Amino acid sequence: MKRLIYSIFSILLLFGCSDSKQVYTRQVLSFGTQIDVTLFGVKPSKADEAIQEIETQLDVMHSQWHAWQKSTLTDLNDKLRKGEPFEVNPTLLPLILQSQQLYTQSNGLFNPAIGKLIELWGFYKDNPEDNQSIPSKEDIDSLLKSNPNMMDIRISGTELTGFNQDLQIDFGGYAKGFGVDRLVELLKAQGINNALINAGGDIRGIGFVGDRPWRIAIQHPIKDKTLGWIELEDDESIFTSGDYRRKYSVDGKQYHHIIDPRTGYPSEHAHSVTVIHPSGAIADAAATALMVAKPSEWFDIARRIGLNHLLVVDKDGQLYSDQLFAERIVLIDHSQIINNLGSL
Ligand code: ADP
Ligand code: MG
């Protein structure tokens, strides 16, 4: 991840504006990653103010959405499991509503209700790479049988009730995107219209760097290098999900953090999926869902979610993309899109 961040910055240095004083960059730690906020053409005093607000917002999100440290979400999960009503606050409700919609659009592949499975696979910790064993098939099968999903939550106004004792909401595949959108709203409200927020390689950019677009490097999921780069149009999000981010190995086999709700095992059709969409929240959920999808499902699910840019590196390291992504990406070092999937 660091490599990706460095490559973005070296690119900013190369192609950014000549007056380096106009680019202001700050790092904040949140969502288990480093978040880089780059502002262009903003006075330092105003930039400092904006960063302070961002830090405050990130603290609120952490206290509301954390999946395994005590948060409003873990309180909600306690109630959902017991089938007791929970009065949800305005910070959490929009995530529940939108993720129900994304659950449906992705044919259930994006399913934030499978927190118990994710916990079972040992990802409710900061260092999953230390895991020494995998869950038993019986435990996985039992959760597949009860099939907790987003539609097991009934919403009446601001009251949520669960109808499945295995419900455990986990916004790990989506809250980062939702949060990045919030931060962009906050910047825009302050009159800041040229900015890049990079949450560990998941990025939303608004405006430009002077007279140039924001230029983003995309990491190769298996080779230790950059796959290519792309220039963002005004207000776009580019999100990547991959099997290389959080993982561990047992008996020489690797297990990563994106779980196929149909099999209960880590997804196995792609090394990485990169998507572009105006909304960070939708891009985040879409990238996670498409990591799970089979190749025959990629196009249908991308269309249902409303994407028009998709890039997949499959398990054999082959690149697939739609026509628009193929036109925009500049591949480096002999990478080739050999499977152009046509227009989305
Ligand atoms: P990253 O957070 O590394 O950018 P993702 O956005 O794909 O990657 O999020 C992965 C996280 O999403 C997992 O750690 C887990 O919390 C959650 N998750 C895993 N599988 C699913 C799934 N099928 N649907 C929804 N969320 C999932
Ligand atoms: Mg995601």
Ligand 1 lined by 179 (C-beta under 6 Å): no
pLDDT digits (tens, 9 = 90+) for 50-109: 999 999 999 999 999 999 999 999 999 999 999 999 999 988 999 999 999 999 999 999
pLDDT digits (tens, 9 = 90+) for 131-168: 999 999 999 999 999 999 999 999 999 999 999 999 99
Provide the pairing of β-strand 159-162 with 86-87: antiparallel
205 pLDDT band, cuts 50/70/90, is: very high
pLDDT digits (tens, 9 = 90+) for 276-294: 999 999 999 999 999 999 9
Cα(170) to centroid of ligand 1, in Å? 8
In terms of pTM, does the model score above 0.85?
yes
Pick from 288, 297, 301, 305 the residue to mutate for probing ligand 1's pocket: most ligand atoms within 8 Å of its CB: 288
Is the Cβ–Cβ distance between 337 and 319 less than 8 Å? yes
Q: Residue 31: its pLDDT value, please? A: 84
Ligand 1 lined by 258 (C-beta under 6 Å): yes
- Cβ-Cβ contacts under 8 Å for 142 (sequence gap 6 or more): none
Classify the C-alpha dihedral 283-288-293-296 as positive or negative. Answer: positive
Cα(199) to centroid of ligand 2, in Å? 12
Dihedral Cα 159, 162, 120, 173, nearest 10 deg = -50
Cα(71) to centroid of ligand 1, in Å? 18
Give the 3-state secondary structure of residue 217.
strand
Distance, CA of 220 to CA of 327 (rounded, Å): 18
Identify the residue whose C-alpha is closest to ligand 1 atom 9. 173
Residue 300 has pLDDT above 60, yes or no: yes
**Geometric angle at alpha carbon 66, from 304 and 174, rounded to 5°:** 15
Cα(173) to centroid of ligand 1, in Å? 3
CB-count burial class (<10 Å; 0-12, 13-18, 19+) for 74: middle
Distance, CA of 164 to CA of 176 (rounded, Å): 26
Q: Residue 312: its pLDDT value, please? A: 97
Q: Give the nearest ligand 1 atom to 31 CA.
A: 2
Distance of CA 3 to the CA centre of its chain: 18
Count other Cβ atoms within 10 Å, centred on residue 211: 6
Q: Give the nearest ligand 1 atom to 111 CA.
A: 24
Beta bridge partners of 312: 273, 320
Between these two residues, 29 and 267, which has the higher pLDDT value? 267
Count other Cβ atoms within 10 Å, centred on residue 253: 9
Q: Residue 9: its pLDDT value, please? A: 43
- Judged by its nearest atom, the ligand closest to the C-alpha of residue 99 is 1
